[in-house]
Amino acid sequence: MPVPVRRLTAAAALGIALALPGAAPQPAAATTFTWATANDILGLDPHANNHGVTNAMKSNLYEPLVRRDADGSLKPALAERWETPSPTVWRFHLVRGVRFHGGQPFTADDVAMSLQRVRQNDMAYTVQSIAGARVIDDHTIEFDTRGPNPILLQDLTLFFIMSRAWVEGNNAMAVARAGQPGAATAFAQVNANGTGPFRLTERAADERTVLVPNPEYRERLETGITRAVFRPVSAAPTRVAALLSRELDLMYHVPLQDVPRVQGAQGVRLIQGPTARTIYLAMDTSRAESLEAPGTPNPMLDVRVRRAMYQAIDMNTIRRVVLRDSTTAAGLPIAPAIGGFVAEFNGRLPFDPEAARRLLAEAGQPNFRVALGCPNNRYVNDEAICQSVVAMLQRVGIAARLDAMPFTRFLARGNAREFQFWLLGWTPGNFDMTNPARELLGEGSFNWGGFRDERMQQLATEIGNTPPEDPRRQELARQYWARFTELLPMIPLHQEPQVFAVRETVADFQLRVQEDLELRGVRMRPAR
């Protein structure tokens, strides 16, 4: 029997679908929609660069088998239905009559090729549990999983499908992540050919990405958009000025210090809500030597040092002063809406500078040197958070310094393992703890510090094999987070807020739990 599309009630708790005041019920007239955020997408290849803004752009152009709606629920996309003949076999029945933007017909062979291609890079986590695939016919494909994976559908929401004919015809089988040799000019990074609701017409890195509606899209989307222009604007004051001068229809993030001014501007509405993203500090727990003091031991190998750094950080002050009471402090690297969250372990260690100094002395590291790698255009007040952390570490004797940079450079340096201590944010793509357990604390590409713990890996595997409705799963999660709290491989900080501003030109805008924007969730007002 077909497996029903199951709503993700935990994720839905964060989701907000907004109809803005004065929304018009009729479709909007044809118009251009222009939006901006602080950093550009990292490229158009759907199988490279696991990055929120980039993934959102991919979803306008490409489609997965199953997609996630604004409220977090799962919806059919290129698969119209599915079933599980056995615990390790998933059969997907594909939508018929779909064509790629270039005119190629969509078939199961495209899915099989995409499965092979995606394994090369950051997005490989979406299909990690899949051992192989069988094409049954043009519109049916089966996946064999390495073991039971009851949350496979959640994993697949960011597994985008490409055309085999287009990929092979343009010699584009290799996947290059941003910062890798050849990535900037790789064919699939600067061109697009999906089945999604919008098509690419122009791509100029760090300047603009221009899309138009796909006239052959099988669903009627009454966005009123005939042209969509994405503009990265790194400087927050410039971004705000562009909004207020009517150059933009929408922007995010609104700097918290600018919220009163934006709220008071004529024709502008401010929209705020929670996200599923946790901002955290991570540490290298595998490198033998210190990066800041070569020839000396890496102090972060000692859990007492990691605990001391944690207790040196006054998160309440950061939340009140830097984040203006807009956020919630976190003790776990996942938000409450994520599967496997255990409230028992979400309390933070107490802020205690004296305890921090004692722990550093016990570890023989009373005044070691460390640099904090920090993006300065990705998260809400990211550099200001890092500045506060550096000052707090200095107060307990640690010779900390700030190493801030644009997000693209930050990612390249992180992937090259050039940080010993850094700030990052993470939203689990599958809305389950198995994602950060793999990507941040296991074999994933964002485990820049090389952390490994056999017991946590064993527990993560068991959790992944256990259905969400099984009570054993939550007990396994409790054991996992207990071990995490004991080892402290990272320091969770807070759940990031999302702050969007829209002009009166926008009638409807869907605030998504992923803290991003999909054009299908925008509806423009009729032009006057």
Band of residue 6 on the pLDDT scale cut at 50, 70, 90: very low
- Segment 492-497 mean pLDDT: 94
User: How large is the average pLDDT for residues 366-382?
Assistant: 95
- The answer to whether residues 183 and 36 belong to one domain is yes
Domains in the chain, number:
2
Confidence of residue 14 (pLDDT cuts 50, 70, 90): very low
Q: Is the pLDDT of residue 238 over 90?
A: yes
- Residue pair 517/223 in contact (Cβ under 8 Å)? The answer is no
State the pLDDT at residue 13. Answer: 34
- Is the pLDDT confidence value at 2 over 50? no
Same domain? 343 vs 410? yes
Task: Flag whether pLDDT at 7 surpasses 70.
Answer: no
- For residues 434 and 295, state if they share a domain: yes
Domain assignment present for residue 259? The answer is: no
Model pLDDT, residue 528:
63
For residue 451, which of 442, 459, 461 has the smallest C-alpha distance? 442
What is the rounded distance in angstroms from the CA atom of residue 139 to the CA atom of residue 141? Answer: 7
Same domain (yes/no): 472, 509? no
Domain match, 411 and 470 both: yes
Residue 124 per-residue DSSP state? G
Query: Do 361 and 450 have their domain in common?
Result: yes
Whether 258 is covered by a domain: the verdict is: no
What integer best gives the mean pLDDT of the chain? 92
Residues 350 and 241 in one domain: no
Domain extent, residue 294, equals 275-497
Q: Minimum mean pLDDT among 93-102, 265-274, 309-318, 321-330: which range? A: 265-274
Query: Do both 221 and 294 map to the same domain?
Result: no
Classify residue 4: in a domain, yes or no.
no
Dig out the tokens for 36 from the structure. 């901006």
- The answer on 354 and 320 residing in a single domain is yes
Question: In the chain, what percentage of residues exceed pLDDT 90?
Answer: 82
- CATH code (residue 239): 3.40.190.10
Q: Is residue 260 assigned to a domain?
A: no
Mean pLDDT across the stretch 325-346?
A: 95
pLDDT score for 369: 97
* 264 within some domain: no
pLDDT at residue 253 in the model: 86
Own/partner long-range contacts of 440-443 (Cβ < 8 Å, ≥24 apart): 440/282, 440/333, 440/490, 441/484, 441/489, 441/490
Assigned domain for 427 exists:
yes
Q: Is residue 331 part of a domain?
A: yes
Percent with pLDDT over 70 in the chain: 94
Would the pLDDT of 370 be above 80?
yes
Q: What is the CATH number of the domain that holds 474?
A: 3.10.105.10
State residue 177's pLDDT score. 85
Q: Is the pLDDT of residue 29 over 50?
A: no
- Average pLDDT rounded to a whole number, residues 286-315: 97
What is the C-alpha separation between 413 and 261, in angstroms, rounded? 36
Residue 321, pLDDT above cutoff 50: yes
The pLDDT of 122-142, averaged and rounded, is 96
pTM: 0.88
Out of 99-108, 174-183, 372-381, 443-452, least confident range: 174-183
